[in-house]
Amino acid sequence: MTNYKRFLPVMLVLAWLAVPTNAGQGAGTADSALESSVADSCARLATAKVEWPDATTHIKQSDWHADGSQVALPMVPPVTLPAHCELTGAMQDRMGVDGQHYAIRFHLRLPLRWNGKFLFEGGGGTEGDLGSAIGATTPGAPPAIAQGYAVVSQDSGHDNATNSVPSRGGNVAFGFDPEARANYGGASLRLVSETAKEIIHSYYGRLPEHSYFVGCSKGGQEGMAFAQRFPDEFDGIVAGAPGFSLPRAAVAEAWDTQAFGSLVEATGAKTFNPKLLPTSFSETQFRTVREAILAACDADDGVRDGITSNFESCTWPRVAKELNRRNCSTSKTDSCLSDAQISVLGRVHWGPKNNRDKSLYSDWPIDAGMGSDGWRIWKIGSAMSGFPGINVAMGGPALAAIFTTPPTTLNADPKAALDFVLSFDFDRDAPKIYATQAPFKRSAWDAVSARSPHLEEFRARGGRMIVYQGASDPVFSLNDTLAWYREVEKLNGESSADFVRVFPVPGMAHCNGGPATDQFDAFGALVDWVEKGSAPDRIIAKAGANSPWPGRTRPLCPYPETPHYKGSGSIEDAENFVCRSGR
């Protein structure tokens, strides 16, 4: 058992925090004494003797941060944090079969004024980063730690700073070790969650009243893995743009690259300069694609407003008809589309197939966010940048090292990634995501996917899940997510919506961006559902400053419902739209 006497001082201090006090002379002295006591308790965590869920666990560092400390994050201003104890630790230090040293590292922040709740912050991409452990949940909202949550993040069992091997694709090199693959796929999740809860129990003297998980992309995959494999860990899960079919989606990335590459590849050539891929479509041509989609489908939700809310009614034959009206059969300009470009868009829409016409992943929705900056940065790279897109830069190495067996050795450069993707054979190579070969006793699909519709244990425990995803997500198809939800419905009937709801976001790209109302509080809706029993019938979303309509609001509707205009009132106001099923 944990020695709670070791933590008695901080427990008494936290009990004091719950008692209202009157402001007055000496308050500053009391606050200083309070922080000093808690800071001492924070420091002692580094040497505390705790019966860890995993006996190899050790605290590497514990630091006290006064109120007003800041943390630097990529591409955003520094975030100001409340007074808190920050810990980093590790477990399962080992030497992998590939000769690399591995460990599962975690990062935990414990706020002085704890609200009694715990949040697990999901990761992203190929992981390998310890994460901020601040719990960013909603654009513009204070992070979870500022709301009083204890927050943990993790690196999923490999470290980009030490496990990156240029001759094996760089940051994806961990894919050559079976255990590192498994930890990336989700094996590390429960260990980190239960370790964090043990520290919380020790530090505050009690377990969290409610526990939540929030993540998008790979983080969304982690949320799904928790619900399916470890259903007793969380009361509520937000799984955004879930990469629960990651190996199949990586095959689709190769398919898309080959399709777009056919527009810039010289006849008979097997490769080309990666910088040419962004030139396969100009920005003007993608605006033409958006115009065609809007002409075909914009009015399906009752109003022409630049949003294809009723995206399931928008079919390829309808859009292809409009695209053909904008082709270059008579005069070629930058705004028209060639027959080859239209054919490529259709090929991408239907998704990867083998020579027997068997689908290898999913088709994609046709949505007015197609071709937006957030869409093309994945598919082909931004215009005039020379960057061949994330599908090549990250998708190619990940497919080679993590998602196929045996892994393929690639140098960490865009040309090597592009050449691998261009040579990928959908009959010969796609089955490798299901293959096993020593030392890999489990396939990449078994180790990394989290697509099972079986959520019976999560439901029985009273768990609640919100899934959101952009209809123009360029890397994980919303259609795959909706197909998964229909499988959940087959198992649970109409009561599926009692514990899991999917909210498509028309126009949105991957996790955010695109011509969309992409700012919304899914986490707040989840907390209300878990703690107040208020199931979200709609989530109000707002368009950001970079959208075509800054400040516009729309309801996000639980699938299969979609937003429809009531017929009167401003189209900029969500109150004039109703959620209605198209089934």
Look-up of token digits 């994945």: 378
Q: 158 is written with which tokens? A: 């490999």
Exposed e or buried b per residue across 7-32, where buried means at least 16 C-beta atoms within 10 angstroms of its C-beta = beebbebbeeeeeeeeeeeeeeeeee
Tell me how crowded residue 370 is: count the other CB atoms within 10 A of its CB: 28
Active site residue 301: no
Cα–Cα distance for residue pair 508/61, rounded to 1 Å: 40
Residue of 419, 473, 480, 521 marked active site: 473
Cα–Cα distance for residue pair 241/502, rounded to 1 Å: 10
Q: 182 is written with which tokens? A: 């498994």
Considering only the C-alpha atoms of the chain, give the largest distance between any 2 of them, rounded to a whole number of Å.
Answer: 84
Amino acid, res. 459? R
List phi, psi (to 5°) of 172: -95, 5
Tell me how crowded residue 263 is: count the other CB atoms within 10 A of its CB: 17
Cα–Cα distance for residue pair 332/355, rounded to 1 Å: 33
Q: 300 is written with which tokens? A: 């399906």
Cα–Cα distance for residue pair 109/156, rounded to 1 Å: 18
DSSP strand pairing (117-121 vs 210-216): parallel
Cα–Cα distance for residue pair 224/413, rounded to 1 Å: 32
DSSP, residue by residue, 299-319: GGGSS-SS--SSGGG--HHHH
- Total length of the chain: 583
Cα–Cα distance for residue pair 230/224, rounded to 1 Å: 9
Cα–Cα distance for residue pair 219/207, rounded to 1 Å: 24
> Side-chain half-sphere of 175: how many Cα atoms within 13 Å?
30
Residue of 298, 510, 521, 564 marked active site: 510
Amino acid, res. 4? Y
Look-up of token digits 């002085």: 112
Kindly calculate the radius of gyration of the chain based on its CA atoms and give it in whole angstroms.
25
Residue of 41, 164, 217, 372 marked active site: 217
Active site residue 510: yes
* Residue 548, H or E segment: none
Q: Which residues are within 8 A (CB) of 375 and not within 5 positions of it... i.e. 6 or more apart?
A: 369, 472, 474, 509, 514
Q: Which residues are within 8 A (CB) of 136 and not within 5 positions of it... i.e. 6 or more apart?
A: 121, 143, 144
Tell me how crowded residue 534 is: count the other CB atoms within 10 A of its CB: 11
Displacement of CA 249 from its chain's centroid (Å):
14
Q: Which residues are catalytic?
A: 217, 473, 510
